[in-house]
Amino acid sequence: MDLKKLVAGMRVLLQGALGETVLETRSGKGLWRCQADPSQLENVMLNLAFNARDAMPEGGSLLVACANARVAQDDVPGDMDQVAAGDFVTLSFTDSGTGMSHEVVEQAYDPFFTTKDVGDGSSLGLSMVYGF
């Protein structure tokens, strides 16, 4: 799939989900094609956009960037042995939000963990992204 094209196609939807947040997208030159399920990747992008929005209650900015990355075996952290060296296409979300406390970071990927009140969303974003 063409990640740059998928991100461009999601731009209007993401901007609508973000409200007052300023959305910027960037893509490296000559972005490689990648193998992924486009529908699942769109779901990932929406979840990350909602998380970014919720971390910026007064508004802010979100950068969605795509880039090529070559990973050497020496660059793979010891606790990530499931990652093989090779060529990858990266998708990153960087927001100007409040961040998470150490306690929240420790639980952020646990299924059904939430910091939200009942009725304020599922907060399943990061565990869903991790699963994908």
| Helix or strand holding residue 112 (H, E) | none
| Predicted TM-score of the model (pTM) | 0.85
Higher pLDDT: 82 or 16? It is 16
The residue behind tokens 């565990």 is 127
Q: How crowded is residue 44: how many other Cβ atoms within 10 Å of its Cβ? A: 20
For residues 42, 44, 46, 49, the Cα torsion angle rounded to the nearest 10 degrees is -130
Q: Per-residue pLDDT for 81 more than 60? A: yes
pLDDT band, residue 64 (cuts 50/70/90)? very high
pLDDT tens for 8-28 read 999 999 998 888 889 999 998
Task: Count each helix (H run) and each strand (E run) in the chain, helices first.
Answer: 4, 3
CA dist 102 and 57 (Å) reads: 20
Map out the domains of the chain with their CATH numbers.
3-99 (3.30.565.10)
CA dist 115 and 129 (Å) reads: 17
